[in-house]
Structure 1
Amino acid sequence: MEPKYGPHNGNSPRYTGIRTFMKLPHVQEVDDDIDVAVVGLPFDTAASYRSGARFGPSSIREMSMLLRPANAYHKMNPFQRCSVIDYGDLPLLPGNIQESYSIISKAYKQFAENNIIPIGLGGDHSVALGELRGLKEHYGKPLSLVQFDAHGDTWDNYWGMKYTHGTPFKRGVEEGLIDPHSSIQIGLRGTVYDPGDLDVAKEMGFDIVTADELRLLSPQELSKRIKDRVGDKLVFLTFDIDFFDPAYAPGTGTPEPGGFTSAEGLSYLRQLPKMNLAGLDLVEVLPALDQSEITAHLGATIVYECMSLIGKFGITR
C-alpha cells in the first residue's frame, strides 16, 4: 500500500512554502498511518559552553529543502516505503529542564504507543534523556544506545548540576533507561577532565570506539561491531554533529579538532546494520556559528540517511 504521508511532490521550487523537513506534511494527530515522525526539540539551556542550539531544528529544516527524495546509494526512495511526517516542535521551556523532559517524554511515549519512530532535531544533547524516558515508559525495558559523538556525555555533573548536555547517558544508566552492556559510543576524542574519564564509561559497561580506533576500522567492520553489540535489542541511535571535524561542521557549541569528514561520517552511517530502532536524534547544531549553513545541511543529510535506513530495513518492532 502506498504510504499516506511523504514529501511535497516537487511541482514548485524547493525554497518555497512552509519550512517542514523536506516539505513533509505538518501533522500533529498521530495514528497508524504514520511510520516516522520528525520532531523539533528546541532546547539549549543545558549547554555547558555556547548556547544557541535551540535554533537548530529550524536551521536543519531550512537546509533540508536541498534534499531530494531518492537515495542514490541505497537505490531506493524511503518515502515510497515509509509514511513520514514533520510533527513540528515540542513546546519546550528554556530554563526549565525537568518540565521540558516531561514534555518530551509524554510525546515520545505517544509515538511509541502508535508504533511511530521519532527522529528528534536538537537542541543540545540533554534532550536525549527525555526521549529515552518516554520510550522506556512504553517499552518497559532499557534500550541499547548507539552514539556517534566526540564526547561520551557520561560525566556525573557540571558545576554540581546533574542535568546538562554532558550528563544524559550517565543519568540514563542510573535510571535504567540504557543497557550499557549492549551499547556503543563511537568517535570519542578531545581533552577530558581526568585521564580516566573514558575508563569510567567502560566500567559502566559501554563499548568505546575512540576516534583513533575508528580510523582503523572500515565502515563494514564498524557495522559488524555495532551489530554484535546490540543484537536484536531495542536501539536508540543518537548523532551529535560534533562527531564531525569543525572544518565540516563549524556550527556547534563544543567543537573538537581531529574529527571526521562528512564523507567518512556518511559512509559509516550508510553501512549501519539492521537494528530494531525505537528512536533517533541529531543534536547540537548551532546556526549562529555556522558557515554558509554547511553544518545544518550536513545535519539534514544525516537525518535523511537515517530515514533511508528505516526505509531499507523496515520497522521491525
Structure 2
Amino acid sequence: MQYPLSPDVKPEFCTTGTFMRLPSSRDDAKLAIVGLPFDTAASFRVGARFAPQAIRQASMTLFPYHPIQKVYPFEDCQAIDIGDVSVIPHNIHRSFEVIEKAVKDLMEQGIVPIGIGGDHSVTLANLRAAAKVHGPVALIHFDSHTDTWDTYYEEKYWHGSPFIRAYEENLLIPDKVFQVGIRGTLNHPGDIEASIELGYHVITTPDLKERGFQDVLNEMKQKIGNTPCFLSFDIDFVDPSCAPGTGTLEVGGLNSFETLQIIRSLTDFNFIGYDLVEVLPPYDPTQITSLLAATIIHDFASLAALKIKKEVTAELK
C-alpha cells in the first residue's frame, strides 16, 4: 500500500495516530518522524509535550504530493513514524539520554530523523547524536532567540541554552552555524554579541528584511558547502499572528508564506537531521500553529526526498 494514505483511501479524521498515517516500520526507510515530548526546560509557558500528537493530528489535512519540489516525499523516502521517545518529564539529563539514543540509532541506520519537540532543549540531545555519527556538524537555526544564554536561575540546561552547551561540547562547527530571524527585546546589550563571539553567524529579522533571504542563502551555501548539516526550527521564528501557539512570543516576525518560501529554498544542503520545536497546543485553539508545523515538516521531508533523488542521479552517472 502506498503511504501516506490519501483521503480517498481513508477519511482524514480516521487517524492511526502517526504523521499523515505513516507506518511505524518499513524496509529501506530513509526518513523517520520521531516525537520528542519534553517541555520541562521551558522558562515561561509549558505544554510543548503535547505538540507531537497535535502536529500529527494537523497533518491529516495535508496531501502526499509536494507541488513546489515535485516529489512524493514520504513515499520517495519510505518514511516511517516511530512514535514518541519515552522521556522522563522531571529529569532533563535522562531525557537527553533516551532522545540521543533514539536519534543516534536512526542515523546509524542511514535514516534521517525529523524530531517533533518539545521545547528547544531537545536539540542538544539531537546534536549529541549527530556529532557521534557524523562528527561536529553545521547548523541552520531558525528562531527569534539565539538560545546561547548561559544559565537561568543558575541552571545550565534549559531551553535558552542548547547552542552554548553544543559549542562547549564541540558538537558544532562554529563558522558553519547560522542563526536566522533573531529579534525582540533583550536582557542585556551583549546578548546577540555572545553568539557572534562563539563564531556563529547571527541574522536578525531586520537584517533578513534588508538583505533579502537570497543573499543570506548564498552566504550559507558558501560557508556550509556539503558539510553534514542539522536544521533546527523554533516555531517562534514565525510572527505570532501566524503561529500564536508557542511559549515565548516575539512580534515582528515573518508570515507563514515567507517562512515556507525560505524553507523551500534550502535544496543545496547536506541535511542529516531536522527538528521542529516550541509548539504549544494549549495556546493554539484553532490549530493554525500545529498546521503550520505539520506543513514545515512536510517541507523537511521534501528536502530529504530531493537529496535522495540527487544521490541516485549521481550514482547513475
The TM-score range, normalised by the shorter chain, is over 0.9
SS at 2:211 equivalent? coil
Structure 1 counterpart of 2:5, one-letter code:
H
- Aligned match of 1:230 in 224, 231, 255? 224
Offset of residue 217 of structure 1: 3.4
Separation (CA, whole Å) in 1 of partners of 2:186 and 2:23 = 43
- Alignment correspondent of 2:4: 7
- Closer/same/farther in 2, CA of residues 99 and 5 from structure 1, 3 Å limit: farther
Structure 2 counterpart of 1:8, one-letter code:
L
Offset of residue 291 of structure 1: 3.3
**What whole-Å deviation, never above 9, does each CA across 1:211-258 have from its counterpart, x for those lacking one?**
001112334333212211211111010000000111100000001011
- Aligned match of 1:16 in 14, 17, 21? 14
Offset of residue 5 of structure 1: 7.4
Separation (CA, whole Å) in 1 of partners of 2:62 and 2:16 = 15
SS at 1:181 equivalent? strand
- Alignment correspondent of 2:207: 213
- Alignment correspondent of 2:176: 182
Q: 1:308 and 2:302 equivalent? A: yes
Separation (CA, whole Å) in 2 of partners of 1:307 and 1:221 = 24
Offset of residue 272 of structure 1: 1.2
- Closer/same/farther in 2, CA of residues 74 and 138 from structure 1, 3 Å limit: closer
Is 2:139–2:177's contact at 8 Å kept on the other side of the alignment?
yes
Is 2:38–2:87's contact at 8 Å kept on the other side of the alignment?
yes
Q: 1:47 and 2:45 equivalent? A: no
Q: 1:116-265 residue pairs with structure 2 within 5 A?
A: 116-139=111-134, 141-265=135-259
Q: 1:32-111 residue pairs with structure 2 within 5 A?
A: 33-111=28-106
Is 1:42–1:56's contact at 8 Å kept on the other side of the alignment?
yes
Offset of residue 76 of structure 1: 2.5
- Closer/same/farther in 2, CA of residues 76 and 167 from structure 1, 3 Å limit: same
Structure 1 counterpart of 2:81, one-letter code:
D
TM-score normalised by L of structure 1: 0.94
SS at 1:180 equivalent? strand
Offset of residue 9 of structure 1: 4.4
**What whole-Å deviation, never above 9, does each CA across 1:53-77 have from its counterpart, x for those lacking one?**
1001111000000110111112232
Q: Indicate the percent of aligned positions where both proteins have the same amino acid.
A: 45
Separation (CA, whole Å) in 2 of partners of 1:119 and 1:240 = 13
Q: 1:283 and 2:280 equivalent? A: no
Separation (CA, whole Å) in 1 of partners of 2:221 and 2:247 = 31
Offset of residue 110 of structure 1: 0.7
- Aligned match of 1:270 in 249, 260, 264? 264
> What is the Cα-based RMSD across aligned positions, in Å?
1.6
Offset of residue 109 of structure 1: 1.3
Separation (CA, whole Å) in 2 of partners of 1:16 and 1:56 = 19
Offset of residue 32 of structure 1: 6.2
Separation (CA, whole Å) in 1 of partners of 2:211 and 2:259 = 13
Offset of residue 93 of structure 1: 0.7
SS at 1:295 equivalent? helix
- Closer/same/farther in 2, CA of residues 17 and 5 from structure 1, 3 Å limit: same
Is 2:15–2:60's contact at 8 Å kept on the other side of the alignment?
no
Is 1:226–1:273's contact at 8 Å kept on the other side of the alignment?
no
Relative to structure 2, which stretch is displaced further, 67-76 or 155-164? 67-76
- Closer/same/farther in 2, CA of residues 277 and 32 from structure 1, 3 Å limit: farther
Structure 2 counterpart of 1:37, one-letter code:
A
SS at 2:172 equivalent? coil
**What whole-Å deviation, never above 9, does each CA across 1:4-53 have from its counterpart, x for those lacking one?**
973124411111032210111123xxx86110000000000000001111
Is 1:227–1:273's contact at 8 Å kept on the other side of the alignment?
no
Separation (CA, whole Å) in 2 of partners of 1:234 and 1:292 = 37
User: Which residues of structure 1 form unaligned runs of 5+?
Assistant: none
